A = this chain, B = another copy of it.
Amino acid sequence: MRLVKTIRELKQELEPIRRSGVTVGFVPTMGYLHEGHLSLMRKSVEECGFTVVSIFVNPTQFGPGEDYDRYPRDLERDLSMCESVGVDLVFAPGVSEMYEPDACTRVTVSGLTQNLCGRSRPGHFDGVTTVVCKLFNMVRPDRAYFGQKDAQQVAVVRRMVRDLNIPVEVREMPTVREPDGLAMSSRNVYLSPDQRRAALSLHRSLRTAADMIEKGERSAAKIRERMIDIILSSGLAELDYVEIVDADSLRNIDTLKGEVLIAVAVKFGQTRLIDNIKVVVH
């Protein structure tokens, strides 16, 4: 496995790969890898001849007062995890390699970013789409792998790819969970033991929603009410949102129908966690 830190080296490494016609898979990450990331890498290694992973904590997708500075970082550990699953190339640039001092170009997906995390993290998705567009142009992958845990992110990246005609196939892989149901996240390390226990209410609320739907409930209001009860009864939770939206447009719906995304965002102390499920309702 090769590690490169500059765009120039990245291009040098990728040129012969591309010329050989091998399929390139790409997993963009902010590092501090966990099983969720590894599942994306394994899929890429399985499906593609060459797998590139980027590790870059992107400052432009953090708002003021968010956790950019204290976001966990451990490159050594990340590299050995990448190597263990057969990644071919890791791209780990510094901030000044990624952004010129007078950079002034932004990619904005306006339609899907008003709701959910877009509402509580203004500017966040502009940071995401701009850096992902840059990385796609650097790596020029055939396929890129994203986790369903960040469902809105995948929807927004998918829309950008379609609208800008970026020649990449976006693959969305299932959320990987701890044995007790907590969705894997680099931010889970922030949690105290009490918060860690309270955080299980996210998954519990989503499972309850799935049960209600299976039993025939179609009212978004009733499902949300029950979910909010479960989350708040965990004691330590400060609710950001519990939303039931159309999985494609991300617009709120009153009555469940078609592919539905049920998404939650909750703060435990300083730590903001998100989780979701998708359900197809007939």
A contact set with B: CB distance below 8 Å: 7, 19, 21, 100, 102-112, 129-130, 133-134, 137-138, 140, 159-160, 162-167, 249
Contacts and interface: CB of A to CB of B under 8 A. Distances in A.
A230 B109 CA distance: 45
A101 to B, nearest CB: 11
B110 A163 contact: no
A167 B105 contact: no
A105 B125 CA distance: 12
13 contacts: A100-B162, A103-B163, A104-B110, A104-B163, A105-B107, A105-B108, A105-B109, A105-B129, A105-B164, A106-B108, A107-B108, A130-B164, A133-B164
Nearest to A156: B105
Contact of A167 (B103, B107, B109, B137): B137
Nearest to A134: B165
B102 A111 contact: yes
Contacts of A138: 165
Nearest to A248: B102
A159 B7 contact: no
B109 A159 contact: no
A114 to B, nearest CB: 10
CB-CB nearest 5 A-B residue pairs: A104-B111, A105-B163, A137-B165, A103-B163, A104-B110
A100 B164 contact: no
Contact of A159 (B21, B105, B110, B140): B105
Contacts of A140: 167
A265 to B, nearest CB: 22
Nearest to A165: B137
A108 B137 CA distance: 17
A7 B167 CA distance: 11
A6 to B, nearest CB: 12
A110 B105 CA distance: 6
Contacts of A107: 105-108, 164
A9 to B, nearest CB: 14
Contacts of A102: 111, 249
A7 B104 contact: no
Contacts of A108: 105-108
B100 A163 contact: yes
Contacts of A159: 104-105
